[in-house]
Amino acid sequence: MAGACRVSFHPDAADGPAATGAAGAAGADSELRSVAVRQGLSIGLATGAYGISFGALAVVGGLSVWQTVALSALMFTGASQFAFAGIFAVGGSPLAAVTTSTLLGLRHVSYGALLAPTLRPMPPFKKMVAAQLTIDESTAVALAQPTRDSRRAGFWSAGVSVYVLWNAFTLVGALAGSRIGDPNAWGLDAAAAAAFLGLLWSHLKTPHARWTALVAGTLTLALTPLLPAGLPLLVAAAAAVAIGEWSRK
């Protein structure tokens, strides 16, 4: 009986630490994913609320409610949308509006390259959805996470929440139109920017990262009065890439 007891006891004793370690690792991974999801939802709320401004300004500028809603649903990149609506409001040509908004959206190509290792593999339909949700916020939340699973969770959480809330608040702003007063006075643009900078801050831990951000930010501010909308961001992005490549040599 004693020998039988020892035989049955040893496997449990051997499995105990392994099982505990596996459970601990699973718990840590789950916690990281939960943190990523919460970050995504919070930035989704801050950014989505800014859709009120776009909806109101676009309708006041001459777009219909449904044109405004379609622009948010299909284009889904705030800077490009504001540029398009702004040019339309001052009587600019459709070609100028499309060109400017396209230039502002080109940065998303680099986002796709950064996120591809994290999001692959995906079926074709999910890949199309991911492409639509690849924006500043979803990229920032994903890249701020320490593991592949948490990066994926952060990407989908931020992307879906921003998309849903941005479009919902765009409709609210478009329906309210001029009745809500000046939407910029609400400070929603500052809230979205603050949320994004909060995510960016975690990447500025090294002197190299801080100098890169400083150069890119300075270039953007200096060139904004001189170049068409969209080009300052592209120049700043190219400078950041050049600094990164130079630092590797």
pLDDT tens, 116-138?
Answer: 999 988 899 999 999 999 998 89
Cis peptide bond upstream of 121, omega within 30? yes
Residues 124 and 161 both lie in one domain: yes
Residues 246 and 158 both lie in one domain: no
pTM of the complete model beyond 0.85: no
**Residue whose token pair is 């809603």:** 69
Residues 218 and 135 both lie in one domain: no
Residues 173 and 216 both lie in one domain: no
Residues 232 and 145 both lie in one domain: no
Characterize 182-219 residue by residue with b for buried, 16 or more Cβ atoms within 10 angstroms of its Cβ, and e for exposed: ebeebebbeebeebbeebeeeeeeeeeeeebbeebeeb
Q: What is the pLDDT of residue 1?
A: 47
Q: What is the pLDDT of residue 54?
A: 87
Query: How many separate domains does the chain show?
Result: 2
Characterize 118-140 residue by residue with b for buried, 16 or more Cβ atoms within 10 angstroms of its Cβ, and e for exposed: bbeeeeeeeeebbeebbbbbbbb
What stretches in the chain show pLDDT beneath 70? 1-26, 178-204, 228-230, 233, 244-245, 247-249
Q: What is the pLDDT of residue 195?
A: 54
**Structural contact between residues 154 and 142, judged by C-beta atoms closer than 8 angstroms:** yes
Q: What is the pLDDT of residue 38?
A: 92
The domain of 68 spans: 2-202
Distance CA(58)–CA(68), nearest Å, equals: 6
Distance CA(163)–CA(73), nearest Å, equals: 8
Q: What is the pLDDT of residue 47?
A: 84
**Structural contact between residues 135 and 125, judged by C-beta atoms closer than 8 angstroms:** no
Q: What is the pLDDT of residue 58?
A: 86
Q: What is the pLDDT of residue 71?
A: 92
Residues 143 and 194 both lie in one domain: yes
- Listed in sequence order, the residues at least 6 apart from 224 whose beta carbon sits closer than 8 Å to its beta carbon are 232
